[in-house]
Amino acid sequence: MRLISFINAILVVAALFLLIFERDALFAFAGRGEAAPDAANASESAADPTSEQQAIGVVALRSVAREIDSALTLRGQTKANRQVEVLAETSSTVISEPKRKGAFVEAGDLLCELDPSTRPASLAEARAARLEAESRIPEAEARLEEAHALVAEAQINLTAAQRLSETGFGSETRRISSEAVMRSAEAGVKTAEAGLEATRAGIEAAIAEVEAAQREIDRLTIEAPFRGLLESDTAELGSLMQPGSLCATVIQLDPIKLVGFVPEVDVNKIVVGSEATAQLVTGLQVTGRVTFLSRSADETTRTFEVEITVPNPELTIRDGQTADIRISAEGTKAHLLPQSALTLNNEGQVGVRTVGAGNIVEFMPIKLLRDTAEGVWVGGLPETTDIIVVGQEFVTQGVMVNPTFREHTQ
């Protein structure tokens, strides 16, 4: 029994080998008993290997490249053009009624007013000190003029004493005394000049005190930095504000920004100033222009931030909404093909099989540009190409086919 099973296994293996690896020889052997074909027909077939009888029937599409807008599609979100947390810069209590969030404010509108307390008195005191310092200027200038006059008088006396001493009519003691008076007068000039500079410095210090007191009073009025909406209530009446305490949050939504991230392979396709469109999740279609393209990639995603500025006069676009963004890029020529026409070669490249010269099959790699409901837009093909759309999986490069052409609409 074992011997019979072993023989059966050998026969099965031999039959499979003949069917798979020696199929042509097996079929030729099986056909020997049939009538031999006409010698002339056999010789004609051997001489013309590309005859109609050997061609495989396929359906092909004669595609002509068309100009398309190679727009980049990004996923992003809306972002307020400006958002500022308006903070207090001094300590005091709020004496103004609060404004509620959602209220519209213009640049310079009052948001929070603080109790002035003793600050006006401090300002008045600083102004008085400045006036007092300014009043000392004439006195200091008079002292300087007097010191210069004393120097001039001492110079005259010294000159006279030196001449008398040289001619023998004056004593040496008088000359030395005149020189001492001269030095004293010169020292008086320097003292007067120092006094004048000190008086001027006192005026500058007094002016600085006035400006500081005025600045402190100005900090009591907290105003909107720009035109926008209140995202939060302003500080409540009677609440104590410290430096850094939040008065209100103001956002600007007109214009508004759309923020997305571009892969590094596509970043050179975007130019600042290019037109862009977007569709929000609400269905709203908006149009704007690229106003910013990052020069530095995100360390995690290796993508580049891009911003599109969009007008929003009716404030219908809110901050943080999801948007599908399309940025216009330079147009290119492409072919619109059914997805089923795409295939792979032995190296794993994506491409299409085409009908070449003499109806010989060729494989051409392609570049996927855009996927739409009508089909896929591909690039990398000649201007006019006969693309096999039915039967491409049953032929290989170099095989002859008998193509039947169809229109795009079929």
Q: Kindly report, residue by residue over 161-191, the tens digit of the pLDDT.
A: 777 777 766 667 777 787 788 888 888 888 8
pLDDT reading at 410 higher than 60: no
Distance CA 395, CA 345 (A): 11
What pLDDT, in 10s, does the model give residues 233-260?
999 999 999 999 999 999 999 899 999 9
Going by pLDDT thresholds of 50, 70 and 90, the confidence category of residue 9 is confident
pLDDT reading at 1 higher than 70: no
**Mean of the per-residue pLDDT values for the chain?**
83
Mean pLDDT for the stretch of residues 315-326: 91
- Contact criterion met (CB below 8 Å) for 105 and 222: no
pLDDT reading at 34 higher than 50: no
- Contact criterion met (CB below 8 Å) for 297 and 250: no
Mean pLDDT for the stretch of residues 356-363: 90
Greater confidence, 14 or 131?
A: 131
What pLDDT, in 10s, does the model give residues 108-156?
999 999 999 899 998 998 889 888 888 888 888 888 888 888 888 878 8
pTM of the entire structure? 0.54
* pLDDT of 184: 83
Share of the chain above pLDDT 90, in %: 35
Mean pLDDT for the stretch of residues 386-409: 85
Taking alpha carbons only, the member of 63, 74, 93, 99 closest to residue 379 is 63
Helix and strand element counts for the chain (H, E): 6, 22
pLDDT reading at 267 higher than 70: yes
A 10 A CB-CB count for 370 gives: 16
Task: With residue 244 as reference, give the H or E element that holds it.
Answer: none
A 10 A CB-CB count for 16 gives: 10
* pLDDT of 26: 54
Greater confidence, 3 or 260?
A: 260
* pLDDT of 310: 94
Greater confidence, 247 or 198?
A: 247
Going by pLDDT thresholds of 50, 70 and 90, the confidence category of residue 280 is very high
Greater confidence, 233 or 410?
A: 233
pLDDT reading at 35 higher than 60: no
User: What b/e string do you get for 84-122 counting C-beta neighbours within 10 Å, with b at 16 or more?
Assistant: bebebbbebebebebbeeeeebeeeeebbbbebeebeeb
Task: With residue 228 as reference, give the H or E element that holds it.
Answer: strand 228-230
* pLDDT of 363: 93
pLDDT reading at 8 higher than 80: no
Distance CA 338, CA 375 (A): 5
